[in-house]
Structure 1
Amino acid sequence: MGKFPKFLAIVASLSLSRLSALGAQTPDLCSVIAGQKWVSPKDVRACFTSMKVDQTLKLNIIDVINKTLAFHTSTNYEIRAPQPFTADVHEELLADLARIRAQSYKSDYDLHIDLSRSVKRLNDGLYAITPSLKLPYIDFLKAAFVNFLPIPLALITGANGTQEVHIAPEAFTVASAEFPDQIDVWQNALPGSLKGKLEMLSGAKVLLIDGKAPFDAVDANSLITGSFQAFGTRQNSFFSSYQIAAAGWTYIMGNFTQQSLPLSDQVTLIIQRVGSTRPEAVTIPYRSRIGAINPFTDTASYLTSNCKAVPGTNGVDIFARSISSLGSLDRPITKFQQQNPISAATERQHPVNVILDASPPSDVVLPPTLVPSLPTVPGSRNAAQFYLLKDGKTGVLALGSFSDNDFNAFLNSMLEGLVALKSQGATQLVVDVSNNGGGFICAAHWLHRIIVGPKSTTIPQAGLDTQARDGPLAQLIVKQIISGNLDPNLDLLYNPLQWTDANSQPFSANEDWLQPPVVKIINGHRDAFSQRLGEECQGSFPTEPPGAGLFEGSKVVIVSNGRCASSCSLFSITMAKLEGAKTVVIGGKQGVKQEYCGTVGGQSTDFSTIDTEIKSTQLKNNTLAPPDLLVNGVQGITWRLGFGINDPTQPEEWQDHPADLNLPVTDNLVNNPVAVWEEVAQRLLA
């Protein structure tokens, strides 16, 4: 069951300000950055803040969010989350939306920031908003221009056990490879004898960031980064890390080095370089690089080319157009889903649980010296790579996503890889899911099932029971499907034939699975949910799973930096709580509890998918239905909640997932996957 970080994602393009008002501005501040790859952050801010709020678009965005929230399962839970996340999640989004509706803003940019940060306080990554500037109004802005520094950071533990923030040892290698056309700007910004010698900063200890202790900056970032409930995981997002992606091993720069908004112009560090005992001050400018936006020459063309709704922003009546109309991979939401792009049609056939992020997935390359040099094992495919460590007994599955462009081939390759590891002598398994944002729900079920085999924890399902929110419009959708036999090809989420009951018995075509609603009082608010839903994946597996497990659950270790979300969380939680797999978080501040995964829902989806359900059942004119979004945006929601394992009466996403081991990052482990795997195997599998 895919979990969709609750971070409501509305990627709405920068509001289309009235062009008459824009034309009066002299000079046009967006023309300054037009046609350039690299610009100053202050020039980007000047462009964005020159755009005034269009009240029609502002109200449209808020109306869409408000009415789509009726389908988001965690709305009332997030007002004040249960322990252990009470201090981390306490956002009454409906109240904040009412405040934002009434509030005046100097510019579209200011509106975007307020709306974005309100949503990010949900800290779930599944519910997200991203408009033209960026999130609900701000996430797209982050995609337009991204702020970079050439000095990614790492939290390193020394031989004496003391943790210090450092510029990553590989910083210059990464920056010179990724930013060859900008490196001279940073080289020449350095003072005195350091000018032109940026590589001499690599590995330096960071004593102060803008005059404050480094963790002041880390903690400030954790308040606005969103996506993960756990404070420790949000701290970790400040630092660099690695991920295996479909294109190969990538380097995650971290929130300090990569800002999705042009918030900062420069940073001043007090550092102590390697081999030196003398503190030195260096001031390094941020530079903004243009992202995935259409060309523009001025403010008017920026808005016209990038901010209007596009195909995929809103839903369609699939019975008027056919499901093939949902086949494009070029949907607005795919730019923010932390998975390999898949079509809307594939997502309907194979539901997902995947996190959204304001910044697109990283394409920065992991330095060659850190890329695993071990030979890959047969079955390796895209973001799932198999290795056998030199000890001859530890197999590794590096799994950067639970998504792939071919569902059946992906699941078959995971089975092939695990079987190949066994045939080569592996008796224990490390699964590295660092920065895995989720993907196919049934891929998580499948991997769990083939690792441990058929048993009570994997049959009839290897996941969690779930439930959907049961609001008035959702009830009408189901009634329309049943009464009109509208969906013979099973294209709609609300079709009863898609689901089974708590006993994993399929619903009949005329069975209203939303009746009667299960009423709950959550944080003083009356809410309604569907009955409990059971098994959903057995019929979707491409082949019969093995009759016996390939590895003992107790011989499996799941490794991440805590940034494992949605379907990744589903797999990690069920393996840890049901099968005895051990969990490891790489790094993390000493004394701060590290959760081995983020939000686990039952299934994530988005506004355009819900809008398709509404339009296909002829309910778009109902007063409960959200209007079409007028800007190029994305709103992500958690459509189903997953029930807990230790407490099966409550959602799993609000239950505790502490790591068994918080692995200190030493000099030899920094962003080095093989070194991490070997250390983990020695500590937990020897």
Structure 2
Amino acid sequence: MKIIQVHSKFNIYLILFVTLLVIVLPPSTAKISCNEVSSALKKNKSVEYNDLKKCLESFPFNAKLATDTVDAVLHFLSSYYVFFDRAKEDPPSGFTYQPVDLKKELSSLRSSLRETPPNSDYDFSTTLRNIIFKLKDGHTNVFNLCYQRFNYDQGLSLYSVVTTDKNKKKKQVLDDTVDSSNNNCEVIEIGGKPALQAIIDFANDTIQYSKDLDVRFNMALAPSQPRFLRQFFQQFTLREDLPETSSIKYNLTCPKKGSVNFERKWIITYNDGFDGFSFNCLEQNNQTAFSLNDNSASSDKVTKLTSRDKITSSTLNNEPKIAHAQKLDGGSLYLLNDESKTGVLVISEEKVKDEKGLKYNFQELKNNGTKKIILDMSNNPGGDITFTLFLTSLLFSSKQPNSFPTDIIINDFTIPKIEKNFKSNSTDPDDDDLYNPKLFLSFPFGSPFNSSSEFIGTRKKRTSNLYLNTLTPDEKKLLENVSFPWTSDDIIIITNGFCASACALITLYLSEVHKVRTIAVGGRFDSQMSFSTYPGGQVTSPNVIADYAGDNITDVPGINPLSLTVREAYSFDENNNVKDVLEYSYKPADCRLYYDEKNIIDPSLLWLEASKILNNEIKC
């Protein structure tokens, strides 16, 4: 270092001024980092972790925008989030999560914005996001349109299997399925921790999509059927939030190589679900922000970064191997290659437009002489709520309700909307409008509401007459002249726990009301596990609910879109008495299977095991 001798006060002031310039001009360094990120994206290369971190943290904190954002989030959650009060309570036995007092935590965040402002807009957004994440409600989250558009990939597929060692004891094994030289290696340590504990800690602290730790454990690892929505799976090695470190160290024990240690950097790409790439995060707020686009380049020259599958050899999107079942259609209907005459129907999501195909699938199983049915609903993110009514009515037509009762929050300003909708002569109401009594039937008899006051009821802040959706005329027509030979004893449900939203309502209803048996696959060894997750009832966004409710606050400002659960579903007993809130009811599966090195790749092996349980050849 060169030493400069100072001879005057002027020189001292000059040096102090230059030093201050260095302190107050960090954007120049950030701009370099943002340019490096932009350059890597245009060359279709992985972004350097430190460059992206500096870039993300370079956007200045906007106190007014942050305060308005917190106020709006608190308003919508306190006004419409059906679990706002319930979230503060301790979890029921079987669930693992922390109680969340949303009012207290969001109010505390708002106060801290004045007292100890965050260093950047990124820090604020991350803090807000983490508060919502603690709810472990897959329907309710905040997604920043700037900071959650990157994929962070380790280039590994880890999965958990249960094997038997020479002493006939069970143990958990994590396997690397991407680097062929590491195949079938046991992962001993991850980041200096025992491997199993590292995954459990990550599932506990980071994954938001289930209140059941075992389901989150499955989601941290690679799924058994890897063709579905990747954002819900392999979350330990494939993330959407900036990881805390630039790399992770692994220690393996391999059959041929012995002990292996390596450090894996994150492969950072941009989510190609969006057109182009820009990072003008604060321009809409009249702020000056660095752009990761090269302004000198025309829009057709801005390269959209490829997804992880074009950069790594990941097997995430490969079709699973099906060696022990015969395919009957394009990919969702199978007959097992044994003598049980057991059919398998894979339901990967719930869409009203698929209801005709669903009826056809059951008809095909009937035509093929199928005696038993396995419903594989693993890796199912949900869908249309009326699909649940259709499926249960298709299999078990009866006079009892065909779905769980549900409820919503009522506010003073929503009551006039309900009254107006009831008086309306509109023949084509919006089927998402929670405040239109004509779209619903009262529980349990399925009768239309006679008045708006009957729908509103007398309970404080809640509708008193719990209600369910009506089937559409087209759905009712599809259900005409339907007759299938199967009883509850002829059907079994198998999932890896991630059967969410509408899928959860279906499986819970078939299990609770019709006593269909259930199987959960994976999770931690020797623990009970849910077969479904977040059955809340219905998810929506603030702008939608505000429009229907007539709210004078129309949305969350800025670039932090909020989604939230606005209906809650309840279980009920044989006398149709409403019981528990399903979102906060622990419902473990009747039976349990585990992944191994073979069935993790070929789910038909799991179907064979499920068939043995279904046909009472083995007990759970």
Give the TM-score, by structure 2 length: 0.81
Tell me what 1:83 maps to.
Answer: 92
Radius of gyration: which is bigger?
2
Tell me what 1:350 maps to.
Answer: none
1 CA distance for matches of 2:494 and 2:38? 43
Match of 1:95 among 104, 107, 110: 104
SS state at 2:345 partner: strand
Bigger relative CO (Cα 8 Å, ≥ 6 apart):
1
Offset at residue 238 of structure 1 (A): 1.3
Tell me what 1:639 maps to.
Answer: 566
2 CA distance for matches of 1:626 and 1:461? 36
Does structure 1 conserve the Cα–Cα contact (< 8 Å) formed by 2:132 and 2:140? yes
Q: Does 1:402 align with 2:350?
A: yes
1 CA distance for matches of 2:265 and 2:285? 27
Q: Does 1:447 align with 2:391?
A: yes
Given residue 639 of structure 1, which amino acid in structure 2 is its aligned partner?
Answer: V
Match of 1:472 among 412, 419, 423: 412
Tell me what 1:377 maps to.
Answer: 328
Given residue 131 of structure 2, which amino acid in structure 1 is its aligned partner?
Answer: S
Offset at residue 165 of structure 1 (A): 2.7
Tell me what 1:233 maps to.
Answer: 215
Offset at residue 275 of structure 1 (A): 3.5
Offset at residue 539 of structure 1 (A): 4.4
Offset at residue 494 of structure 1 (A): 1.1
Match of 1:489 among 420, 428, 448: 428
Deviations 1:607-629 (A, max 9, x none): 23213214xxxx45xxxx32433
SS state at 1:649 partner: strand
1 CA distance for matches of 2:566 and 2:323? 38
Match of 1:593 among 511, 528, 533: 528
Q: Does 1:290 align with 2:264?
A: no
Tell me what 1:49 maps to.
Answer: 57
Tell me what 1:655 maps to.
Answer: 585
1 CA distance for matches of 2:53 and 2:556? 25
Offset at residue 482 of structure 1 (A): 4.7
Deviations 1:158-191 (A, max 9, x none): 13352223224xx22xxxxxxxxxxxxxxxxxxx
Tell me what 1:345 maps to.
Answer: none
Given residue 470 of structure 2, which amino acid in structure 1 is its aligned partner?
Answer: E
Offset at residue 289 of structure 1 (A): 1.0
SS state at 2:508 partner: helix
Tell me what 2:448 maps to.
Answer: 506
Offset at residue 545 of structure 1 (A): 4.3
Tell me what 1:630 maps to.
Answer: 557
Cα 1:440/1:290, change in 2 over 3 Å: same
Cα 1:517/1:294, change in 2 over 3 Å: farther
2 CA distance for matches of 1:633 and 1:443? 30
Tell me what 2:6 maps to.
Answer: none
Tell me what 2:304 maps to.
Answer: none
Does structure 1 conserve the Cα–Cα contact (< 8 Å) formed by 2:383 and 2:503? yes
1 CA distance for matches of 2:26 and 2:281? 11
Does structure 2 conserve the Cα–Cα contact (< 8 Å) formed by 1:461 and 1:536? no
Tell me what 1:515 maps to.
Answer: 456
Tell me what 1:146 maps to.
Answer: 151
Given residue 449 of structure 2, which amino acid in structure 1 is its aligned partner?
Answer: F
1 CA distance for matches of 2:317 and 2:411? 46
Paired residues, number: 544
491-500 vs 281-290, which moves further: 491-500
Cα 1:56/1:546, change in 2 over 3 Å: farther
Tell me what 1:114 maps to.
Answer: 127
Q: Does 1:604 align with 2:544?
A: no
Cα 1:562/1:662, change in 2 over 3 Å: same
Which aligned pairs between 1:267-666 and structure 2 lie closer than 5 A? 267-276=248-257, 278-291=258-271, 292-296=273-277, 301=280, 303-304=282-283, 365-367=316-318, 370=321, 374-378=325-329, 380=330, 385-391=332-338, 393-403=341-351, 407-408=352-353, 410-451=354-395, 453-455=396-398, 459-482=399-422, 485=424, 487=426, 489-491=428-430, 492-502=433-443, 503-508=445-450, 511-519=452-460, 527-534=461-468, 536-537=470-471, 539=473, 541=475, 542-614=477-549, 619-620=550-551, 625-646=552-573, 648-666=578-596
Does structure 1 conserve the Cα–Cα contact (< 8 Å) formed by 2:529 and 2:588? yes
Given residue 119 of structure 1, which amino acid in structure 2 is its aligned partner?
Answer: I
Deviations 1:418-473 (A, max 9, x none): 1111211211111111111111112122222222x322xxx353211111111223
2 CA distance for matches of 1:115 and 1:501? 38
Which aligned pairs between 1:208-247 and structure 2 lie closer than 5 A? 208-222=189-203, 223-243=205-225
Match of 2:235 among 251, 255, 260: 255
Cα 1:203/1:305, change in 2 over 3 Å: farther
Does structure 1 conserve the Cα–Cα contact (< 8 Å) formed by 2:324 and 2:337? no
Cα 1:513/1:31, change in 2 over 3 Å: farther
Cα 1:496/1:253, change in 2 over 3 Å: closer
Cα 1:165/1:549, change in 2 over 3 Å: same
Q: Does 1:63 align with 2:71?
A: yes
SS state at 1:34 partner: helix
Offset at residue 213 of structure 1 (A): 0.7
SS state at 1:33 partner: helix
Cα 1:156/1:242, change in 2 over 3 Å: closer
Cα 1:86/1:667, change in 2 over 3 Å: closer
Deviations 1:528-557 (A, max 9, x none): 444211452264515124443342212211
Does structure 2 conserve the Cα–Cα contact (< 8 Å) formed by 1:466 and 1:534? yes
Cα 1:116/1:396, change in 2 over 3 Å: same
Offset at residue 558 of structure 1 (A): 1.0
Does structure 1 conserve the Cα–Cα contact (< 8 Å) formed by 2:226 and 2:319? no
Given residue 154 of structure 2, which amino acid in structure 1 is its aligned partner?
Answer: L
1 CA distance for matches of 2:160 and 2:118? 38
- Identity value in percent: 17
Offset at residue 59 of structure 1 (A): 2.1
Cα 1:463/1:672, change in 2 over 3 Å: same
Given residue 533 of structure 1, which amino acid in structure 2 is its aligned partner?
Answer: Y
430-439 vs 157-166, which moves further: 157-166
Tell me what 1:186 maps to.
Answer: none
SS state at 1:472 partner: coil
Deviations 1:85-129 (A, max 9, x none): 675251111211111112221112222221111111111211111
2 CA distance for matches of 1:435 and 1:446? 21
Does structure 2 conserve the Cα–Cα contact (< 8 Å) formed by 1:584 and 1:663? yes
Does structure 1 conserve the Cα–Cα contact (< 8 Å) formed by 2:159 and 2:222? yes
Cα 1:666/1:306, change in 2 over 3 Å: farther
Give the TM-score, by structure 1 length: 0.73
Cα 1:397/1:258, change in 2 over 3 Å: same
Cα 1:369/1:398, change in 2 over 3 Å: closer
Q: Does 1:125 align with 2:138?
A: yes
SS state at 1:254 partner: coil
